[in-house]
Structure 1
Amino acid sequence: MKKVSDSNKHLVAQEKDMYISFPGIAKAKGGLVACYLRTDSHHRTKTDIMITRSLDGGKTWIDPQSIAYTDIYEHGSVYVVPRINSLSDGRLVVICDRGLRNPQTEFQYLSTWVYNKQMWNEIFWSYDDGLNWDGPHRIDDVGGEPEYIQELSNGSLMYTRAEVGEMEPRLRFNPATYFEFGSPAKYDWFPGVRVYYRQAAVFSDDGGQSWGRKSLMTDHPLYSDAEAGFAEIKPGHLLAVTRCADHGTRYGQPSRMIRSDDYGVTWDQGVLAPFHGHRPTLGMLQSGKALAVFRNALGTNATYAFVFDPEEQFAYQPNSFIWNEADCTIDNGVMTIKTEEGPERTVRFQLYPAQNDVSRVQLETEMRLEEADEYGCCISSGCWIRFETDRVSLADRPEQGFMLNTREWHKYTIIRQHHEIFVYVDGQLMLHTNTVGLATRTICFGNRYIQNEAKRNRSVSHWRSFSVKVDNPDDYTIDWEWNAAAGYPDQFRRDRLVLLDKSGFSAGDNGYPQWVQQADGTIVIIDYTKGEPVQDQPFVRSYTVTEAELSGTSISLIQPNKQGG
């Protein structure tokens, strides 16, 4: 796939034993101004909102200063995610959410803060290119990880924030998720259990003095939209991209795209995006194309950039966890997956999940196995199936299965419906049993475990095709198919997305990027990352690129194989 060259990466901020994160960037008259959060850990106890400046187009950064500080000991609160932007009158504005916390409490889920009204948003103004700041000014009683404030063509200012709704009682208890948690009560505040996120747009019609107007952008309890980035693609027409926060994105839903044609007053029902983005930041390039930058999840922990036509229509796309691209290759119409111990040698393709334990899932694949450890070759169709060289069985009830020489090519059909699973091999029914107590929402193939849990993952398997249809009663239904003769299951990622940086094997510690385009066309993206090789603590980088590079016409390529790399 395509990636940004190391020569295009520049250090913005890094401190030993400090957690440097959540950056933003804005254009000013004298250059560029960036903000970021300086704290002691991800679960912070003391926080500074930092400002730094660049006079050379984002390559070097000078004069870091704190414009606000709070900690849990003296103030009983912490800052969460600062964002910055410039307005047409030359003002710079930083918006940041602030949440209550004291030394006796653990770091809270965002949903807990917002639901219990223990959070709010503050703004800071600068009238001199970021040298001095006026604030904080409290503007709401919500918080909710706001996106940076933008100025619309009608003069209104707008930002987005997450709000919290309560799940319907019929949706609260979901056996396909609840018993997967080691301590179910601990996860009551996960979005998708008791509560869910919905996105709101908040407006000021007096230059930022008051923020009394609001519209609801999304209200999808099973998806839980959060972290909406947005852009005005033409006067009055807005495009927003959201993060799926359902259960922390652990089941692999992609982002959603939603639109408004009346300056954000009303919004459509949305469609699935072709990428899986956390904190997607969206804007318009000088060419009229749109640029989104985001953390990839659930998949390889990395930050990507994506250039596209804002009117482009997209098909559903799966995601993948592949740290080492050479572990997945295609030759002569066959995809070979070779995996070993640890997340750095893991391969898994993730598809849209089942809504619950009775969603109908039908999956078909043609594959053969060369070798596999316990978790080396697995398929989940709402119930985990383990493939060994001489046996196919339920991974969590291994006594239920059948003997089979899986070293030979076979066509498998797996159907999960109404607490039952049916496994056919070459058209013959080989296993029919109940799935009570075994259900999962996960739909995927490859290694069962990824990230830090990736043990006993060794395998060599060969795949010609894979298809799946997931029928969900209240959520999206997908019907997706792939054939190795046409490329990889994640061919869209390889063709269209550009890698900024990978960032360690565990989710997080990267990927709240923001970007600007300068007058000469250069794009400066800012993000936090652990980089490669992986550092102990994250730091902030800037990336200087052109649209041509992000569109793939002049950029480094990762080509591990003969087809589609």
Structure 2
Amino acid sequence: MHTTRLLAAVRFISIMRLTGGRRLCVWSVFVLTLSALVGSLLKCDHVRAEESPADTITVFELSEDPQQPFGYRIPSLVVTQAGTLLAFCERRDGLHDHAENDIVLRRSSDGGTTWEPMQIIAEEAGDSLNDPCAVVLKTGRILLRYTRFPKGIHARKTPHTEIAEPGYDGPRNVRVFLMHSDDDGRNWSAPRDVTREMRRREAISLGSPGVGLQLTRGEHAGRIVLPNYEVYHIGNNERANDNSVSYSDDGGETWSLTPPIEDDGPVASGDEAQLAELPDGGLIMTSRIFPEINGRLVSFSHDGGERWTKHRKATGLLTPACMSSILRYSWPGYESGSILLHTLPRTQDSRSNGTLMISRDEGESWQSVKVIVPGDFAYSCLARLPNGDIGCLYETDDYHKISFQRLNPELFLQE
């Protein structure tokens, strides 16, 4: 629950934590000040937090105009070769997943302090455009992938949508598109249909929001890799997921699709996923878990993403079902060692308590560095800024805002 709304509504509250349906503890807290409330909330999560810094900036915000009630969700953040920040997301007619979504963009040329007016870079009448996934190439070209759902069709049946069908050419088929910019994100190409290259015929949809990457090391240096989660309809409203990777060795002109990543056991499979590069040119993938249970799955590739270890539960990544971000900050030999960063909502069962995590053993284990957003914190995307700071673009305020925050690397370089 958002702290401001809590203070406005109550002075005496009960805070309850739940895990696996069991009540662990109940604290009754008499709230005297804002700092007391924040401190009490975070004791329940066993993580110390500080108030959000003053330089947190709102990049997208829910419109209060009844004629254009647009909401904004699903952030993607990249830094171009020129040092420009590009913040993508879905603009929705409301907030639900299938809301005639458009893909929109704002640019910042000063490290995220100010942002240019919003651009609509992809729209398709009543169709819904979902899951923006961007990657910056060493040539300076920026690629953006998204998934297009026909009007009234989605990857699951809801009161206002029917479930999609497998195949490529039918009216209920979901398509995957790729577009590019060669001028630092100012102008964009027409979308190119890459459905047959990226999605299996038997799958009803494919996507994964956030970012891809271009490998810089090993025999596959230069390869572009994009994370995937594919959805399959298995009867009634039941569905199954798996993870895979789409990769290109020719600058994004043609694409190959890896086999699905195997799951280590029948309990869960991968959902929305993100990637980071390993020192040998391999990859680590962390994935949201489907069905929705706590934690994240992790898998490794040592051949440029073509083959993967079986998914297993990641060590130290406590989080509810939610898209999360992973970022390579430094390599072995760096003065503070090899560092991977992860942001996620660090609680048992709510998208809140946004926390920066660190791994110094190439993703084998993770430790908490700092709570960066004590309140609402859902989907997020990390990027290394030109000055060495970390930029985090994230959903907050009950999905009413997508905000940007700069993080000083001294948070994790002190050790």
TM over 0.5: yes
Q: Which residue of 2 aligns with 1:66?
A: 120
Are 1:31 and 1:57, in contact at CA under 8 Å, matched by a contact in 2? yes
In structure 2, distance between residues paired with 1:4 and 1:548: 17
Q: 1:93–1:126: 8 Å Cα contact kept in structure 2? A: yes
Partner amino acid for 1:92? I
- 2:212 counterpart of 1:149: yes
Matched, 1:160 2:227: yes
Report the Cα offset of residue 6 of structure 1. 3.0
Matched residue, 2:39: none
SS of the residue corresponding to residue 101 of structure 2 reads strand
Query: Which residue of 1 is the match for residue 296 of structure 2?
Result: 255
Which residue of the other structure, out of 282, 287, 290, is the alignment partner of 1:242?
Answer: 287
**Equivalent of residue 341 in structure 2, options 287, 291, 305:** 291
For the Cα contact (< 8 Å) 1:27–1:85, is it kept in 2? Answer: no
Gapped regions of structure 2 (runs ≥ 5): 1-47, 200-204
Aligned-partner residue type, residue 146 of structure 1: S
Q: 1:95 touches 1:124 (CA, 8 Å); kept in 2? A: yes
Aligned partner of 2:355 in structure 1 is 304
Structure 1: tracts of 5 or more residues without a match:
173-187, 316-491, 504-509, 555-565
> Retained in 1: the 8 A contact 2:294–2:349?
no
Aligned-partner residue type, residue 302 of structure 2: D
Q: Deviations over 1:8-66 (max 9, x none)?
A: 31111223232111111111215211111111122243222111111211122112110
Question: Are the structure 2 counterparts of residues 124 and 8 from structure 1 closer, same or farther at C-alpha, using a change threshold of 3 Å?
Answer: same
For the pair 1:231 / 2:276, whether they are aligned, the reply is yes
**171, 174, 182: which one pairs with 1:127?**
182
The TM-score, its normalising length taken from structure 1, stands at: 0.54
Q: Deviations over 1:109-162 (max 9, x none)?
A: 9xx437576212211100000110002111115342224332123221111211
Which residue, out of 506, 517, 532, partners 2:384?
A: 517
Partners of 2:55 and 2:167 in 1: CA distance: 43
Contact 2:49–2:374 (Cα < 8 Å) also in 1: no
1:467-523 deviations in whole A, cap 9, x for unaligned? xxxxxxxxxxxxxxxxxxxxxxxxx7xx545242522xxxxxx52211211232111
The 1:64/1:260 distance shift into structure 2, 3 A limit, reads same
The offset of 1:222, in angstroms, is: 2.4
Match of 1:202 in 2: 246
Please give the per-residue CA displacement for 1:94-113, whole angstroms capped at 9, x wherever unaligned: 1111112239984559xx43
Distance 1:45 1:253, change over 3 A: closer
Q: CA deviation at 1:231?
A: 0.7
Check if 1:6 corresponds to 2:53: yes
2:193 corresponds, among 131, 138, 141, to 138
* Aligned counterparts of 1:114 and 1:284: Cα–Cα separation in 2: 37
| Structure 1 position 280, deviation (Å) | 2.2
Task: Please say if 1:23 is aligned against 2:98.
Answer: no
Q: Could you tell me the percent identity over the aligned residues?
A: 20
Q: Which of structures 1 and 2 has the larger relative contact order (alpha carbons within 8 angstroms, sep 6+)?
A: 1
| 1:211 correspondence with 2:255 | yes
Q: Which whole-Å CA distance do the structure 1 matches of 2:343 and 2:164 have between them? A: 27
Q: Which amino acid aligns with 2:283?
A: L
Distance in 2 between residues matched to 1:69 and 1:224, nearest whole Å: 31
User: In 1, Cα distance between the equivalents of 2:410 and 2:296?
Assistant: 25
Q: Which amino acid aligns with 2:408?
A: T
Distance 1:527 1:97 in 2: 20
Q: CA deviation at 1:304?
A: 2.8
CA distance, structure 2, for counterparts of residue 6 and residue 115 of structure 1: 47
Aligned to 2:409: 547
Letter paired with 1:33: L
User: Cα distance 1:128–1:239, how it changes in 2: closer, same or farther (>3 A)?
Assistant: same
Query: Greater CA radius of gyration, 1 or 2?
Result: 1
Superposed displacement of residue 88, structure 1: 0.6
Counterpart amino acid of residue 126 in structure 1 = S
Q: Does 1:87 align with 2:137?
A: yes
CA shift for structure 1 position 166: 6.9
Taking structure 1 as reference, are residues 266 and 224 closer, same or farther at Cα in structure 2, changes over 3 Å only?
same
Cα deviation code 1:264-309 (max 9, x no counterpart): 1211123312222621221200353001123456523223321211
Q: Deviations over 1:503-552 (max 9, x none)?
A: 2xxxxxx522112112321111111222xxx5xx5221101012222x39
C-alpha distance in 2, partners of 1:58/1:204? Answer: 30
State the match for 1:37 in structure 2: 90
> 2-side partners of 1:127 and 1:165: how far apart?
35
Amino acid at match of 1:69: E
How far, CA to CA, are the matches of 2:191 and 2:393 in structure 1? 24
**What CA deviation, in whole Å up to 9, does each residue of 1:168-213 have, x standing for no partner?**
xxxx9xxxxxxxxxxxxxxx53xxxx43211011111211111134
* Residue type at the aligned position of 2:136: S
Contact 1:114/1:164, CA 8 A, preserved across alignment: no
Which residue of the partner structure matches residue 528 of structure 1?
395
Could you tell me which residue of structure 2 aligns to residue 448 of structure 1? none
Q: Which residue of 306, 319, 328 maps to 1:265? A: 306
CA distance in 1, matches of 2:83, 2:413: 31
Residues 2 and 132 (structure 1), Cα distance of their counterparts in 2 relative to 1, 3 Å cut = same
Is the CA contact 1:529–1:538 (under 8 Å) kept in the aligned structure 2? yes
Looking at structure 1, the residues matched to 174 and 124 of structure 2 have their Cα atoms a distance apart, in angstroms, of: 14
| Structure 2 counterpart of 1:333 | none
Q: Could you tell me how far apart the structure 2 residues matched to 1:523 and 1:114 are?
A: 40
TM-score where L is the length of structure 2: 0.72
Q: State the secondary structure of the residue aligned to 2:206.
A: coil
- The residue type paired with residue 359 of structure 2 is F
The superposition leaves residues 207-255 of structure 1 with CA deviations (integer Å, 9 ceiling, x where unpaired) of 1111134232234652021111111121322111011021xx1xx3310
